[in-house]
A and B are shown apart, each in its own frame.
Chain A
Amino acid sequence: MKTRCAVVRMRLPGVESVDELGPRLSSHVETCLTCQAEAARYRTLRRHLGALASETIEAPDTLVSAVAAQIQHPAAEDRRGTMVRRAAIAASAAAGAVAAAGAGTIIVIGLRRTRSAA
């Protein structure tokens, strides 16, 4: 049994569900609490990673104007680029600290494709 536990442990990171381990290993998991716990950890990990898809980190305020300037006047924007970028990042970080008390810097947008259950 110990060997099967070791094989399950080795293969779990590469599968989306226990079924993918094949009939012998998946029936072992059904009877082994250690392997069930390990499978549950990977399920939790995938679920939490999947949940990140519905959270969006707000872009710095200047991103849109920087892109607009870049497509209108590429050469001029190249000269200003670094200074504008640094100011934008600093402002965004400061705004994030303020927003943390209220709305937060992480907003929810439906970005995910439909997930199949693991």
Chain B
Amino acid sequence: MSSREVLREEEHELVARAAGGDQAAFTELVRIHQHEVYTLAARMVADRELAYDVSQEAFVRAWRAIGKFRGDAKFSTWIHRITVNTAFSHRDRRKRKRTESLDSVYQEPVSESLSPERGGLSATMREPLAVALDALPESLRSVIVLKDVYEWSHTEIAEHLDISVTAAKVRLHRARKSLRITLWDEHKAGAE
């Protein structure tokens, strides 16, 4: 059995225990998935404080619903969906706080272990992309993040953002075009 299968097995057991009301088991699931959930929330809302709230609420919603979680799906897929729904429900409470935006996170140097071969961004592209993504209207940013970063289908996006598939496609088109203009016409990043 590979280490990944062992981890999956362990997670399966944690989920089963959590579904039975074991808070410690659920807390362990939170510990395992905290960074990916926070990252998704941060990319969706582009605000650290709000991302923290969204992450916390997503996990609490997951705790309340874990009895209904079906083991045939991956826990990470399930918690991602809850996070997107939670971010969506926070949109009306959202206040854009530019000073606490994600810019400061993205501008920091990347770990030495993050080489381009392992999927990292080229240095010239990282900062302008982060800033441009952050500056997109929320309705466009959420769609391009889910489609081009997390590889959700248009159908999944439409369902979770409560929009039509056509609207999801139109928003993706507008988001990509906007980033393309910002990165090459305004920044002239030459980012290849």
Contact = CB atoms under 8 A, between A and B. Distances in A.
Question: Does more than half of chain B's interface fall in helix, strand or loop, or is it mixed?
Answer: helix
A46 B148 contact: yes
B121 A48 contact: yes
Contacts of B135: none
Interface residues on B, range: 35 or more
Given A48-B191, A55-B114, A64-B27, A86 B49 contact: yes
Interface in B134-192: 144, 148-151, 169, 172-174, 176-177, 179-180, 183-184, 191-192
B27, B112, B122, B169 — which one has the most chain A CB atoms within 10 A of its CB? B27
B105 A106 contact: yes
A51 interface: yes
A63 B52 contact: yes
Interface of A: 13-14, 40-42, 44-46, 48-60, 63-64, 66-68, 70-72, 74, 85-86, 88-89, 92-93, 96-97, 99-100, 103-109, 111-113, 115
A93 B48 contact: yes
B42 interface: yes
Given A55-B120, A85-B53, A104-B110, 6 more contacts: A13-B177, A57-B39, A63-B52, A64-B30, A106-B110, A108-B118
8 contacts: A46-B176, A58-B35, A59-B52, A60-B38, A64-B34, A74-B60, A89-B49, A112-B119
B151 A53 contact: yes
A-B interface, 5 closest residue pairs, ranked by CB to CB distance from nearest = A59-B38, A54-B119, A104-B111, A49-B148, A13-B176
B109 interface: yes
A54 B177 contact: no
